[in-house]
Amino acid sequence: MIVSHLVAPVGFGALLCVGVGWMMIHMAHAERLQSRIRLAQGHRIDDTPRRRRAETSQRSLMKIIGGFGSAIASSGLVPRGTILQLEETLTTSGFRATNALGMFVGAKVLLTLLMPGLTALLLQNAGWSRVSFSLALATAATVGLLAPDYIISSIRRAHLSKVEVGLPDALDMMVICAEAGLGLEPSIARVAQEIVHVHPALAQELARTSSELQMMSDSKVALTAMGVRTGLDCMIRLATTLIQTMQYGTPLSSALRMLAVEMRQDTLTRFEERAARLPVLLTMPMILFILPCVFLVVGGPAIIKVMKVMQ
């Protein structure tokens, strides 16, 4: 009985969280979309008053949520270590906007406060008992509190997956730059500039690494931070290879070429592992859906004839 009562608030909370997640994803891709619009100079861009009003309303809403979250983050209610961890998580998820932290904190607090209120409005005339009503409010508050974390985690996984997919191509371009006589930092900066429209997630990471290489006196620290920041094995291997190249004086182009071949071989190995799992994964669907249909087609006419004879 209680579980059935919780379906309505949880479903409503899921719809509200999807809206917040869409806003976060839109903020993450806004800069990339603007760059694409600037490239499309020969195409007509929809700039109707209705579209402008919608964009203005959306920016105003995001500004309000971001300002509310920034005020909470700067008030001292959230520990400084938690704020730094959230900023790093948002950065590795592809959120480079200045109000990313404010948007996240504001969405988290507002959902935690609004979800129980909206649930109470929906259920005020439902005739639920006090225990069921309180449990529904607690469930709505929990969904509102944890939904932004789940959305950010999903976006971060997708962002890191895109970084991993584009790395072999970036290494090939770095090999070309190294053979053309460019150093490490100019090569990374040039590759980040060239692949921004093909692999924007990887271009962001390489651009940040290039900026850190320019600012820091020790290149090893910047390269190590690149691997630690993403947490990907391929980026850690790239950072280790570049550090060893600088330390031992090995040719940069040869090291990068071998690393690119190894990464493509690892990708092929993962695809082969997934293909090998398909027969096992298809066993239950075949037993439940395919074999009954085969039995009906093969044995159905015989069963019908037997039933007619027995009648």
Considering the domain architecture, whether residues 19 and 150 belong to the same structural domain is answered as yes
Question: How open is the CA angle 158-163-165, to the nearest 5 degrees?
Answer: 95
Is residue 288 included in any domain, yes or no? no
Tokens coding 112: 């935690």
Considering the domain architecture, whether residues 101 and 194 belong to the same structural domain is answered as no
Indicate left, alpha or beta for 9 from its phi (over 0: left) and psi (-120 to 50: alpha): alpha
Does the pLDDT value for residue 283 go beyond 70? yes
* 13: CB partners within 8 A, 6+ apart: 115, 119, 139, 140, 143, 144, 147
Tokens coding 131: 């225990």
Does the pLDDT value for residue 3 go beyond 80? no
Considering the domain architecture, whether residues 152 and 166 belong to the same structural domain is answered as no
Is residue 120 included in any domain, yes or no? yes
Is residue 287 included in any domain, yes or no? no
Taking residues 165-177, report their average pLDDT.
89
Average pLDDT score, the chain = 78
Considering the domain architecture, whether residues 24 and 148 belong to the same structural domain is answered as yes
Does the pLDDT value for residue 138 go beyond 50? yes
Of the listed ranges 6-15, 119-128, 300-309, the one predicted with least confidence = 6-15
Considering the domain architecture, whether residues 10 and 135 belong to the same structural domain is answered as yes
Tokens coding 72: 């909470």
**Residue-number span of the structural domain to which 217 is assigned:** 162-275
Is residue 184 included in any domain, yes or no? yes
Considering the domain architecture, whether residues 135 and 178 belong to the same structural domain is answered as no
Counted residue by residue, the chain has a size of: 311
Q: Which of 120, 138, 156 is the last residue of a domain?
A: 156
Q: Are 99 and 31 in contact (CB under 8 A)?
A: no
Considering the domain architecture, whether residues 20 and 76 belong to the same structural domain is answered as yes
Q: Which of 98, 129, 156 is the last residue of a domain?
A: 156
Considering the domain architecture, whether residues 85 and 107 belong to the same structural domain is answered as yes
Considering the domain architecture, whether residues 128 and 216 belong to the same structural domain is answered as no
Q: Which of 140, 156, 172 is the last residue of a domain?
A: 156
Of the listed ranges 59-73, 178-192, 256-270, the one predicted with least confidence = 59-73
Does the pLDDT value for residue 236 go beyond 50? yes
Chain position carrying tokens 């806004």: 30
Report pLDDT for 4.
46
Is residue 296 included in any domain, yes or no? no
Is residue 290 included in any domain, yes or no? no
Considering the domain architecture, whether residues 90 and 134 belong to the same structural domain is answered as yes
- Round to whole Å and give the CA distance between 170 and 196: 11
Considering the domain architecture, whether residues 182 and 138 belong to the same structural domain is answered as no
pTM greater than the 0.75 cutoff:
no
Is residue 109 included in any domain, yes or no? yes
Number of domains in the chain: 2
Considering the domain architecture, whether residues 146 and 218 belong to the same structural domain is answered as no
Torsion angle defined by CA atoms of residues 72, 75, 81 and 84, in that order, rounded to the nearest 10 degrees = 60
Of the listed ranges 29-38, 159-168, 260-269, 273-282, the one predicted with least confidence = 29-38
- Round to whole Å and give the CA distance between 39 and 170: 22
Nearest alpha carbon to residue 170 among 207, 133, 140: 207
What are the CA-CA distances from residue 307 to residues 293, 296, 297, 310 (Å)?
Answer: 20, 15, 16, 5
Is residue 188 included in any domain, yes or no? yes
Report pLDDT for 29.
53
Nearest alpha carbon to residue 191 among 214, 215, 208, 207: 207
Confidence of residue 191 (pLDDT cuts 50, 70, 90): very high
What 8-state DSSP symbol labels residue 66?
A: H
